[in-house]
Chains A and B, each alone.
Chain A
């Protein structure tokens, strides 16, 4: 079974530029999560989707971050404009169903450096 796929693996951009990350979850997984992990900390939830609907985006900085999951499968996370403090690893995860408390699996992450 294929795991969660993310791209790119690494990205370096200048502040005020825009960037986009892509995630393809495990086939059949209805729930998709985006997490931000700053160096030395645990991952922090940014946004959670159930199929193509947002169920929790309370911690997403909506003035600069946006995310979509239009067809209920793959998802993109965008930052525009980027700030230095956005330097982090962005992790995508999926689970069969959040309502059934099923196990979540993570992709390899995208390491973003903003200079």
Chain B
């Protein structure tokens, strides 16, 4: 199956700092999504981004499909950004379902 690797595994930031999370995948994909899992376990959709760049407020994401990676940028981080960020990909001939990485655990301190 397709491999999804996320880095760094853990990240601690002070409020107001910027960060970049990376997702590498081992094969071409048809779909890529970024999620934020809050402390209550809910997976919140951040971006649906199989290719290109998108922005939503302080968050933006870029997927370079030809080079098999995606980046999630968080600017001016807030304590509410804490949680685990997951990248998940779909490869059409590997079942159509999302395959998740292990996540990046982010803690933003006041």
- On whether the beta carbons of B50 and A106 are closer than 8 Å, the reply is no
Given contacts A42-B86, A43-B100, A55-B96, contact A101 B50 (CB under 8 A): yes
B95 within 8 A of A: yes
What is the total of A-B residue contacts with beta carbons within 8 Å? 61
- On whether the beta carbons of A42 and B42 are closer than 8 Å, the reply is no
Count B interface residues, CB 8 Å: 25
- On whether the beta carbons of A48 and B96 are closer than 8 Å, the reply is yes
The main secondary structure of chain A at its interface with chain B is: strand
- On whether the beta carbons of B101 and A103 are closer than 8 Å, the reply is no
Which residues of A25-41 are within 8 A (CB) of B?
31, 33, 37, 41
Residues of chain A whose beta carbon lies under 8 Å from any beta carbon of chain B: 31, 33, 37, 41-45, 48, 55-56, 58, 89, 91, 93, 98-99, 101, 103-106, 108-109, 111
